[in-house]
Amino acid sequence: MRRPFREALASTPVVLEIVPPGRRVSEKAVNTFVERVRDSVRSLKNLDAVNIPEVLEENHAGQPFYRDLDPRDFAALLGDLGVDPIVNKVVAHVPSESVLRRWIQESLEQHGLRNFVLVGGNSSRVRYPGPSVVEANRSLRTATQGRNDIALGNITIAERDHEVDRLVEKTRAGCDFFTTQVLFEAEPMATVLRAYGRRCSSQNLKPATVLLSFAPVSDYQDIEFLVWLGATVSSRTEEALLPSPGGPPGRASLDVAHTLWSHLYAAAAQSHPAVPLGVNIEEVSRRGEEARGLLRFRAPHRSPEIRDASAVRDNAADDAAGFLDSDAITARPGDV
């Protein structure tokens, strides 16, 4: 096992997001998928963690439907990957705070986990049974008091009203890092980073690391899918994302991601101290035959090192979602 993920938060961490296979997928298919993930993750020398989201859908009443394996169970199937797993939990659907405390204790003691992303519900109009994200943060921090290897994360959605207020409140409640939704535009994320950094500086608060999420795309169908998920894609960026004739699939989106990284790094650096950044790589392409892609992000404060993260995919087979296949990806909960 490499260093705890918490130690990587100050040095431009690179994270790969892997959605668990569906609950109805055959055991053979799950085993095949697990082996693909193991082989691919172990080949990524500069990877710092594997992020495992909890994928669910809500009906009109806000009741959840879980179609994929539980993140803790999937982490157990993956075993020791050489990097830490990050397990996501939608706390809005936990029946009570006592049940959440039990889940935290089980995660720490029985599953040996030390990295978490606590997420809220999809809608501000639904009264959920579980605690708020801030309350859940405090519960986890209380349960892990005295441990310096625990990394606690939340979600940030730059388009929401009063997002900076949310970030500061969650940071005060113990959040170490935030993960964004998939980004294709610098704004409004750049504005949020600048304002969050200034607010932390004025309140003498250490800013949490922000993991910027990027996703290689292959064609126009991928772009439509991203827009349906809620990503902001301007007509100019849409044109830039479409591959040139004869060009490798996904290459254009990697160029867009590299440009975005430069803009957002500059925005985050405007406060003192600067807001630390990292990278969360998601795969949303529906094409099982997509070519291997490589994202390179230069970390100025770690110059001249270049951090590489490869999004490696295989053809979907045996009813299993292929490695990072979008068929196993849905919109991340809204984190109200």
Mean pLDDT, rounded, for 40-59: 89
- DSSP, collapsed to helix, strand or coil, labels residue 281 as strand
What is the per-residue pLDDT across 96-133, written as a single tens digit (0 to 9) for each?
Answer: 999 999 999 999 999 999 999 999 998 888 899 999 99
pLDDT computed for residue 43 by the predictor: 84
pLDDT computed for residue 324 by the predictor: 31
pLDDT computed for residue 314 by the predictor: 30
d(CA 327, CA 313) in angstroms, rounded, equals 13
Q: Between 224 and 300, whose confidence is greater?
A: 224
Dihedral class, residue 117 (left if φ above 0, else alpha if ψ from -120 to 50, else beta): beta
pLDDT computed for residue 113 by the predictor: 97
> What residue ranges define each of the domains in the chain, with the CATH number in brackets?
5-328 (3.20.20.220)
Mean pLDDT, rounded, for 260-287: 87
Question: Which helix (H) or strand (E) is 94 found in, with range?
Answer: none
CA dist 62 → 68, 217, 258, 334 (Å): 18, 31, 37, 12
Range name among 103-107, 124-128, 249-253, 330-334 with the lowest pLDDT average? 330-334
Mean pLDDT, rounded, for 70-85: 96
Q: Which range scores top for mean pLDDT: 185-194, 275-284, 285-294?
A: 185-194
Q: Which of 326, 124, 160, 288 has the alpha carbon at shortest distance from 232? A: 160
Q: Is 35 in contact with 26 (CB distance < 8 Å)?
A: no
- DSSP, collapsed to helix, strand or coil, labels residue 216 as coil
The two structure tokens encoding residue 159 = 């388009």
pLDDT computed for residue 327 by the predictor: 32
Task: Quote the mean pLDDT of the chain.
Answer: 82
Q: Between 296 and 105, whose confidence is greater?
A: 105
> What are the E-state strand segments in 120-266?
151-156, 177-182, 209-214
What is the per-residue pLDDT across 176-210, written as a single tens digit (0 to 9) for each?
Answer: 999 999 898 999 999 999 999 999 999 999 999 99
Q: Is the pLDDT of residue 302 over 70?
A: no
Q: Which range scores top for mean pLDDT: 19-28, 281-290, 326-335?
A: 19-28
pLDDT computed for residue 250 by the predictor: 64
